[in-house]
């Protein structure tokens, strides 16, 4: 099974903060999913992160500007990619991704 880990510090000026939310900015779940898909594609040696499907996603805690996130990904026996996102020792999101079908 392939595994990968990566750290990403959410930029305080990330464009997603403009609409989520003025008083207490949080990273939208779609941004976390996008980052997980990009990492999964890189882990599998896929040149583009297109065609991936989200089989499952759970969001446990909000993530704010400038927080450091630790992404852990592993390929499961079924060929999906399970991911976990941690911040300050707590899991903030998890799920599984289905890679694009081979041509």
Instruction: Provide the pLDDT for residue 19.
Output: 81
For residues 8 and 4, give the distance between their C-alpha atoms in angstroms, rounded to a whole number. 13
Residue 58 lies in a domain: yes
Q: Would you say residue 83 lies in a domain?
A: yes
What does the pLDDT read at residue 43? 93
Note whether 47 and 100 are within 8 A (CB).
Answer: no
**Residue among 93, 99, 98 nearest 70 (CA):** 93
Report the CATH number at residue 76: 3.10.129.10
Residue at 103 is within a domain: no
| 62 located within any domain | yes
Tell me the average pLDDT across 65-70: 96
pLDDT exceeds 90 at position 102 = no
What is the band of 20 on the pLDDT scale with cuts at 50, 70, 90? confident
Model pLDDT, residue 23: 86
Question: Does the pLDDT value for residue 59 go beyond 70?
Answer: yes
Domain of 60, in residue numbers: 3-98
Reading across the β-sheet that carries 81-87, which strands appear in turn?
A: 3-9, 68-75, 81-87, 90-98, 53-59
Average pLDDT, the chain: 93
Q: Quick check: is 40 in a domain?
A: yes
What's the confidence (pLDDT) of residue 12? 92
Q: How many domains does the chain have?
A: 1
Q: Which of the four pLDDT bands, split at 50, 70 and 90, describes residue 103?
A: low
């Amino acid at each position: 099974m392939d595994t990968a880990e990566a750290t990403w510090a959410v930029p305080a000026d990330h464009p997603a903060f403009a609409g989520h939310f003025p008083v207490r900015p949080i990273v939208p779940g779609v941004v976390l999913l996008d980052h997980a898909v990009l990492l999964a594609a890189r882990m599998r040696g896929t040149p583009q992160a297109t065609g991936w499907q989200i089989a499952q996603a759970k969001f446990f805690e909000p993530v704010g500007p400038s927080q450091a996130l630790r992404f852990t990904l592993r390929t499961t026996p079924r060929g999906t990619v399970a991911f976990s996102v941690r911040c300050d020792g707590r899991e903030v999101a998890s799920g599984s991704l289905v890679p694009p079908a081979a041509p």
